[in-house]
Amino acid sequence: MEVEYQYGEEMSSPARITLDHGSGGLISQELISNLFLKYLRCPQLKHLEDCALLEGFSGQLAFSTDSYVVDPLFFPGGDIGKLAVHGTINDLAMRGGRPIALSLALIMEEGFELAKLEQLIISVAECSEAAGVAVVTGDTKVVPRGKADGIFINTTGIGRVANRVFISGTNARPGDVVLLSGTLADHGITIMTAQAGLEVGGDLKSDTQPLHRLVAALLDEAEDGIHVLRDPTRGGLATTLCEIARSSAVEIEIDEEHLPIRPAVATACELIGLDPLYLANEGKCIVICDPEVQEQALAGMRGMAEGADAVCIGRVLEGRPGRANLRTRIGGRRLLEPLAGQPLPRIC
Amino acid sequence: MEVEYQYGEEMSSPARITLDHGSGGLISQELISNLFLKYLRCPQLKHLEDCALLEGFSGQLAFSTDSYVVDPLFFPGGDIGKLAVHGTINDLAMRGGRPIALSLALIMEEGFELAKLEQLIISVAECSEAAGVAVVTGDTKVVPRGKADGIFINTTGIGRVANRVFISGTNARPGDVVLLSGTLADHGITIMTAQAGLEVGGDLKSDTQPLHRLVAALLDEAEDGIHVLRDPTRGGLATTLCEIARSSAVEIEIDEEHLPIRPAVATACELIGLDPLYLANEGKCIVICDPEVQEQALAGMRGMAEGADAVCIGRVLEGRPGRANLRTRIGGRRLLEPLAGQPLPRIC
């Protein structure tokens, strides 16, 4: 049987995704076998079942889903594939989960370049291998030209959570300290300047990285004292702290002078009028813990590349439940409101 | 803090999704609280964590993902929400999994009507409740107008699989019989006529329904004898049988005279030139089993509404591995090729 799709063949125009790639027929299977299975080498995937079986479970299970629609698909420091693997690993890790498997579901627009798809699958495969978390099941859909934007990726993950562990945004307690694993706003400012086509100079790149090993180290060091873990993605540090303050019915106070922000990021934020407290991070983690374990927790994070810049940025107060405040450098106090809609560059 | 989104308020134009609904800020949270949590009543969801925790696991785990991009979003017999819940439940069931939780990830286009979204969330909630499989975690993204097609839905599911159960497309054995749980092509022909804007008359509607209870009954009746379960969705019965024949290295033969096809479906297929063997089903299941359990399996299925039309349609032969054949009504034999690309209506 002849198929129209001949991956890798020299062609005058670049090979592209067609609706046939999403039909569930031979051409879909060719794409899966020739491209996905070439890079994603999990034995589970080979059988082309619609569902993976995973063995030897016991205890609590962490379960998290996220769709990735970032524009541009490739950006300094990463791409949508990398983001999709790391983002879901991090969501699992933030509940104390040890990630064990990911699903990968692609929605592609007819006409999407196969070379770009290959680049993204390589990226997914490399990140998943480096993180030790296999893609065990997947799905591919194709929609007509103009009905999507290149490619959207959903990853959903499962992880094991030790039965005694209960880490949650509801667990912050007055007296706790607020730690941050590294610098702020790197991902958000990178994407926003790329979208705007701005060359702001300096070394801007996404901080996308997996945090499950950092979390494992933290739990090893100081499990009983860790109350909340949260990665400040969409909405940034400020919005995430507001959510925790509300969920835990506490007040949270952070110190402007302790917030780690790279000079290039600070300059770019200043230039286009964005507040780094509201920009997304894709490889950072807020840790709210008992002050007794603060030093172990900081030492544990600083001992790893992904937490080298970890610092204490604030504290949890009884105060007024649901509020988050910033103590400014000059000693003032600014109420942090959760982001309402989109963070917009200043217009005038 | 004021939010622009006022769901349910009388407005001159219908309320619509804005980019702010996908920001991760207050307006996203309002959407989640006012709409999603209103209908999806799983206690897990209430805490607005990025990841759900599920307790008391042990044994094998089934894990499956699927994105739904169906056009139109609403069709006779169902909608994209219903399809998304049933489809993933069915993928889990086809490996012998008892579905226990779903994730729900939405990608919406700016401008999508909130009333339609509400209708879909109600549909998801009703189906998930009726099936006894809760949505425990979710994600919402919004892309600019023109960058998606209304709404795309990903559901990913997990299920428990008894340790002794191993049902797989690789398990068909010569001598086995091939059963089908009901009529063919109902979903595929419904969507294709809707897409084409054809009024072909008759009572066409999607067969979308969950099959996990049917599978549970089957396994209760005849567990040891059930070798393969597969729902013939994209690509239809023919493509699915070709896949099983290849995975199991056997030949599969089915009898045209035994294939259950509703008269309205047969007429519509005839009219627009589509082969019902290649059209999608969304609530049917192929069962390949030991002939010794054929009668129990058929009786078990026929005893339930979702399997009332169950029949034996063929058999597994040593023959030529990887082939599937149709024995026609007049005694001929037709090789069933897997679908290559899209099933297209006849053009001339």
The 3-state secondary structure of A264-276, one letter per residue: HHHHHHHHHCCCH
Residue B5 confidence (pLDDT)? 42
Q: What is the DSSP letter of A198?
A: -
Mean pLDDT score across all residues of chain A: 91
Q: Which residues of chain B make contact with A24, given a CB cutoff of 8 A?
A: 233-235, 239, 280, 339
Q: pLDDT, tens digit, for every residue of B190-238?
A: 999 998 888 777 789 999 999 999 999 999 988 889 999 999 999 999 9
Which residues pair with residue A109 across a beta bridge?
Answer: A143
Distance CA B282, CA A49 (A): 17
Classify each residue of A25-54 as buried b or exposed e, where b means 16 or more C-beta atoms within 10 Å of its C-beta.
Answer: bbbbbbbbeebbeebbebebbeeebbbbbb
Report residue A14 as tokens. 């670049």
Closest to A181 in 3D by CA, of A285, A60, A52: A285
Q: Is the pLDDT reported for residue A3 higher than 70?
A: no
Q: Is the pLDDT reported for residue A26 higher than 70?
A: yes
Q: Is the pLDDT reported for residue B9 higher than 80?
A: no
Identity of the highest mean pLDDT range in A54-63, B41-50, B112-121 = B112-121
Q: What is the mean pLDDT of residues A99-112?
A: 96
Nearest CA in chain A to B54: A61
Least confident piece of the model among A23-32, B65-74, B254-263, B273-282:
A23-32
* B63–A61 C-beta distance less than 8 A: no
Nearest CA in chain B to A159: B53
Amino acid present at B76: P
How do beta strands B226-230 and B134-143 pair?
unpaired
pLDDT tier for residue A221 given thresholds of 50, 70 and 90: confident
Q: Is the pLDDT reported for residue A111 higher than 90?
A: yes
pLDDT tier for residue B7 given thresholds of 50, 70 and 90: very low
Does residue B105 belong to the interface with chain A, where contact is any CB pair within 8 Å?
yes
Does residue B149 belong to the interface with chain A, where contact is any CB pair within 8 Å?
yes
Mean pLDDT score across all residues of chain B: 91
Residue B145 confidence (pLDDT)? 95
Q: Is the pLDDT reported for residue B18 higher than 50?
A: yes
Q: pLDDT, tens digit, for every residue of B264-307?
A: 999 999 988 899 999 999 999 999 999 999 999 999 999 999 99
Q: Is the pLDDT reported for residue B130 higher than 70?
A: yes
E strand spans, chain B: 52-68, 74-75, 78-79, 98-109, 134-143, 151-161, 177-180, 226-230, 251-255, 286-289, 311-317, 324-327, 333-336
Out of B141, B147, B231, name the one closest to residue A67 (CB).
B141
Q: pLDDT, tens digit, for every residue of A33-54?
A: 889 999 998 887 877 777 887 8
Residue B21 confidence (pLDDT)? 92
The dihedral through the CA atoms of A5, A7, A12, A14 has a sign that is positive
Residue A271 confidence (pLDDT)? 87
Q: Which residues of chain B make contact with A59, given a CB cutoff of 8 A?
A: 57-58
Q: pLDDT, tens digit, for every residue of B75-122?
A: 999 999 999 999 999 999 999 999 999 999 999 999 999 999 999 999
Most B CBs within 10 Å, among A58, A104, A156, A215, to test the B interface: A156
Q: Is the pLDDT reported for residue A63 higher than 60?
A: yes
pLDDT tier for residue A73 given thresholds of 50, 70 and 90: very high
Does residue A80 belong to the interface with chain B, where contact is any CB pair within 8 Å?
no
Nearest CA in chain B to A54: B61
Residue A55 confidence (pLDDT)? 75
Q: Which are the contacts of A132, defined by CB distance < 8 A and separation ≥ 6? A: none
Most A CBs within 10 Å, among B17, B67, B234, to test the A interface: B67
Peptide bond into A72 cis (omega under 30): yes
Q: pLDDT over 70 for what percent of chain B? A: 94
Q: What is the mean pLDDT of residues A152-156?
A: 98
Phi, psi angles (nearest 5°) of residue B305: -55, -40
Q: Which residues of chain A make contact with B64, given a CB cutoff of 8 A?
A: 50-52, 103, 137
Residue the block writes with tokens 């559901």: B155
Report residue B304 as tokens. 């339930």
Out of B4, B26, B65, name the one closest to residue A103 (CB).
B65
Q: pLDDT, tens digit, for every residue of A234-265?
A: 999 999 999 999 999 999 999 999 999 999 99
Q: pLDDT, tens digit, for every residue of B135-160?
A: 999 999 999 999 999 999 999 999 99
Question: What region does B96 belong to: left with phi over 0, alpha with psi -120 to 50, or beta?
Answer: left
Beta-carbon contacts below 8 Å between A and B? 282
Q: pLDDT, tens digit, for every residue of B305-337?
A: 999 999 999 999 999 999 999 999 999 999 999
Q: Is the pLDDT reported for residue A267 higher than 60?
A: yes
Out of A29, A161, A233, name the one closest to residue B24 (CB).
A233
Nearest CA in chain B to A149: B147
Residue B42 confidence (pLDDT)? 81
Q: pLDDT over 70 for what percent of chain A? A: 94
Q: pLDDT, tens digit, for every residue of B176-193?
A: 999 999 999 999 999 999
pLDDT tier for residue B164 given thresholds of 50, 70 and 90: confident
